[in-house]
């Protein structure tokens, strides 16, 4: 365990000792970058307190006071955002029934809602600090990524593999449009690769860290995706096409019955033609 993760988890355990005595709290879990092993020098700390009922606003404020926490000047609108000794700590309060309802939507209803899938990822990667039995039960449920969920994500996000407008933006000197489209395509690529690898959504903030962990992906993917932003737009569009083609090969190998024709069509677009003169002949 690296130093940045270790001292944050040590702090999480210290805070959990104070939280576990609160009436109504059934479990406390370390979440976020520290639980995932992604912490760096800019990372805060995220804790989730699971209640047997939705806690009231005054209960939350009392807990913050007991922890010696204050609200930050930035992000004041988020009640979970606290500051302790100048350090940002997110303390989220969630009812047990609410958390189980989200897991049901992901694992039984196969929702592709990214917020719900992020909850599943948070549960699967979380570190229980109190009420371990409850958290481990949830983690057991989330450990098997449903194939139906993967197929739903693939059906929904493979059609985003479309390069036509990216190619146009690359040739029209419109960097705002080009990088907006490029970012959207890479974001959809991330979702497809998560589904292909049975990995829940960790948020786009941790896109490159999670991609590094995935076994099934195009070679040198993280480096290539970053380099695409440094290439001239027309060349970058060609590099993006190569990555998408390789990804489709992986999808087709794992799900040979999946219809990828539309995605193939979107990726295999011809380069934009130039029309400086009218192709229509006058009848006169």
For 206-256, the pLDDT digits (tens) are 999 999 999 999 999 999 999 999 999 999 999 999 999 999 999 999 999
- Phi (first) and psi of residue 176, to 5 degrees: -60, -50
- Domain spans, the chain: 3-142, 147-267
Does the pLDDT at position 77 exceed 80? no
| Helices of type H across the chain | 3-19, 32-36, 57-66, 96-107, 114-125, 132-142, 147-157, 164-171, 175-196, 207-213, 221-228, 233-254, 261-267
CA–CA dist 253, 244 (Å, integer): 14
- Model pLDDT for residues 177-199, shown as the tens digit of each residue: 999 999 999 999 999 999 999 99
How many angstroms from the chain centroid is the CA of residue 151?
A: 18
**pLDDT: is 191 or 66 the higher one?**
191
CB 170 within 8 A of CB 224: no
| Average pLDDT for the chain | 93
Does the pLDDT at position 111 exceed 70? yes
Which DSSP string do the residues of 70-111 spell out, in sequence order?
B--STTTT-TTEEEETTEEEEEEEEEHHHHHHHHHHHHTS--
CA–CA dist 73, 33 (Å, integer): 22
CB 158 within 8 A of CB 255: no
Strand order, beta sheet including 45-51: 81-84, 87-95, 45-51, 25-31, 127-130
Name the band, by pLDDT with cuts 50, 70 and 90, for residue 284. Answer: low
Q: 39 in helix, strand or coil?
A: coil
Q: Report the CATH number of the 3-142 domain.
A: 3.30.460.10
- Model pLDDT for residues 41-57, shown as the tens digit of each residue: 999 999 999 999 998 88
Tell me what the mean pLDDT of segment 15-43 comes to.
Answer: 95
């Amino acid at each position: 365990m690296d130093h940045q993760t270790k001292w944050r988890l040590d702090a999480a355990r210290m805070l959990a000792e104070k939280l576990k005595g609160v009436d109504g709290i059934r479990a406390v879990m370390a979440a976020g970058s520290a639980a995932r092993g992604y912490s760096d020098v800019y990372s805060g700390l995220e804790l989730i307190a699971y209640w047997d009922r939705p806690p009231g606003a005054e209960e939350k404020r009392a807990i913050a006071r007991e922890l010696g926490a204050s609200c930050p000047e930035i992000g004041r609108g988020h009640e979970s955002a606290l500051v302790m000794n100048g350090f940002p700590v997110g303390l989220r309060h969630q009812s047990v029934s609410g958390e189980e309802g989200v897991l049901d939507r992901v694992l039984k209803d196969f929702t592709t809602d990214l917020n719900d899938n992020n909850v599943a990822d948070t549960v699967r990667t979380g570190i229980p600090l109190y009420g371990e039995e409850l958290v481990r039960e949830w983690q057991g449920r989330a450990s098997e990524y449903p194939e139906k969920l993967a197929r739903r994500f693939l059906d929904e996000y493979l059609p985003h593999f479309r390069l036509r407008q990216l190619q146009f933006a690359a040739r029209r000197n419109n960097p705002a449009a080009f990088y907006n489209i490029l970012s959207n395509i890479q974001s959809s690529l991330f979702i497809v690769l998560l589904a292909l690898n049975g990995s829940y959504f960790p948020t786009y903030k941790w896109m490159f860290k999670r991609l590094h962990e995935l076994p099934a992906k195009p070679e040198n993917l993280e480096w290539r995706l970053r380099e695409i932003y440094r290439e001239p737009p027309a060349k970058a569009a060609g590099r993006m096409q190569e990555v998408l083609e390789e990804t489709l090969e992986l999808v087709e190998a794992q799900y040979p019955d999946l219809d990828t024709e539309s995605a193939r069509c979107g990726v295999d677009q011809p380069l934009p033609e130039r029309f400086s003169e009218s192709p229509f002949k006058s009848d006169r």
